[in-house]
């Protein structure tokens, strides 16, 4: 009866209701999140840290979520300020802003043990410095011990902890021994970054088979040997993180770089299968695929390297990706997009693009 009377008395409202589109109950959802997190009432930094970290990711979708959040009362108690880049979150009980991304990185690596291969220069050198600054104990492995000693001293002077072990990652016995030394000096390995790599052009006449074999041994087998050395203990502890520095070159067989691209593509495939295999074992697996980075590997290149990054910038990006436990991290996005587009280009376009490079290939060891 009430519904009939309302329909008869207010036909225009009924018409409006029938034409109204269903709305998502976002305010109710955010209110539930706020209550579950306890940010509005609990005021416990320890209990709210993980929740704050997850809420920070909402910043990625600010263009779609913020307009609705502005209309909800939950926003006033849950968010004071939220940005895409810095993920700053504050609550009713927190008097200062919390940089969520930086806080998440610190909480992810403090007091952990990280082993970094190829740490004597380039990305590995900078990764060690960034992780040590976050409170991580770093095990440095490479062939050039004098470089490792200099890096370790740099880290110790800054208040960090580092150990040094000289080894060639392509030698299974050496890399196993170096990681055992690191474990004895620093403790069980929580994070492995298989960073060591080499690159040389692939020639046609004569075929430089020894260079190709070396790239396969270092880039692929060196990664597998390092993982072999830490995986049993991680499985026993049911925790750990395996990461490999691959390349955007893994996504396209480039003329003149067949051997290098093949070695990195194999790394990607190996890490993908390993990630799926370990998904219920408590072990994270991350594949890092950078573009051009200013390192000794790229110093021999005479051509223009688009979107070239400095190694310290690349290291910070990689550490952020590791903190988020990304499955695959391709960067920078411009180079990633370009490499995806090359997969659709005709062969003659790629051949012409790489013609000058192949006529005068840089033969220095990258």
Half-sphere exposure of 176 (CA within 13 A, CB side): 11
* pLDDT, position 359: 85
Q: Is 357 a catalytic residue?
A: no
Q: Which domains does the chain have, with CATH numbers?
A: 42-106 (no CATH), 110-359 (3.40.50.720)
- Is a pLDDT exceeding 80 seen at residue 83? no
Mean pLDDT of 116-123: 96
Q: At what angle do helices 222-237 and 172-186 cross, to 10 degrees?
A: 40
Tell me the per-residue pLDDT of 316-362, one tens digit each, with 9 for 90 and over: 999 999 999 999 999 999 999 999 999 999 999 999 989 888 888 88
57 compared with 186, residue with greater pLDDT: 186
- Is a pLDDT exceeding 50 seen at residue 364? yes
Tell me the per-residue pLDDT of 138-176, one tens digit each, with 9 for 90 and over: 999 999 999 999 999 999 999 999 999 999 999 999 999
Tell me the per-residue pLDDT of 320-333, one tens digit each, with 9 for 90 and over: 999 999 999 999 99
**From 260, 270, 329, 357, active-site residue:** 260
Among 251, 145, 136, smallest CA distance to 192 is for 136
Tell me the per-residue pLDDT of 209-223, one tens digit each, with 9 for 90 and over: 999 999 999 999 999
Tell me the per-residue pLDDT of 33-56, one tens digit each, with 9 for 90 and over: 444 444 334 343 444 444 344 444
CB 303 within 8 A of CB 354: no
Mean pLDDT of 165-192: 97
């Amino acid at each position: 009866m009430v519904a009939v009377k309302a329909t008869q008395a207010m036909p225009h409202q009924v018409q409006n209701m029938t034409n109204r589109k269903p709305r998502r109950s976002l305010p109710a959802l955010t209110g539930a999140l706020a209550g579950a997190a306890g940010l509005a009432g609990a005021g416990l930094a320890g209990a709210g840290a993980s929740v704050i970290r997850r809420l920070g990711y909402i910043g990625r979708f600010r263009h779609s979520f913020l307009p609705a959040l502005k209309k909800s009362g939950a926003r006033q108690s849950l968010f004071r300020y939220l940005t895409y880049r810095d993920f700053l979150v504050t609550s009713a009980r927190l008097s200062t802003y919390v940089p969520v991304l930086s806080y998440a990185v610190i909480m992810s690596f403090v007091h952990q043990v990280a082993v970094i291969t190829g740490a004597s220069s380039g990305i590995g050198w900078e990764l060690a410095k960034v992780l040590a600054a976050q409170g991580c104990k770093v095990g440095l492995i490479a062939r050039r011990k004098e470089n490792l000693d200099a890096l370790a001293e740099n880290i110790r002077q800054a208040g960090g902890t580092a150990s040094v072990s000289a080894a060639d990652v392509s030698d299974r016995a050496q890399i196993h021994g170096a990681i055992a030394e690191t474990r004895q000096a620093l403790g069980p390995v929580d994070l492995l970054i298989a960073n060591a790599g080499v690159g040389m052009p692939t020639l046609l006449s004569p075929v430089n088979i020894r260079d190709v074999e070396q790239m396969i041994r270092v880039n692929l087998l060196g990664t597998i040997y390092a993982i072999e050395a830490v995986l049993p203990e991680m499985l026993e502890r049911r925790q750990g993180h395996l990461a490999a520095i691959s390349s955007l070159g893994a996504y396209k067989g480039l003329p003149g770089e067949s051997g290098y691209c093949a070695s990195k593509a194999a790394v990607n495939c190996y890490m993908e299968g390993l990630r799926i295999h370990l998904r219920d074992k408590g072990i994270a697996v991350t594949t890092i695929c950078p573009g051009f980075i200013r390192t000794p590997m790229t110093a021999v290149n005479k051509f223009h390297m688009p979107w070239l990054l400095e190694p310290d910038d690349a290291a910070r990006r990689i550490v952020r990706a590791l903190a988020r436990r990304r499955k695959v991290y391709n960067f920078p996005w411009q180079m990633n997009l370009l490499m995806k587009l090359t997969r659709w280009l005709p062969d003659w376009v790629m051949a012409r693009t790489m013609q000058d490079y192949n006529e005068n290939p840089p033969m220095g060891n990258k």
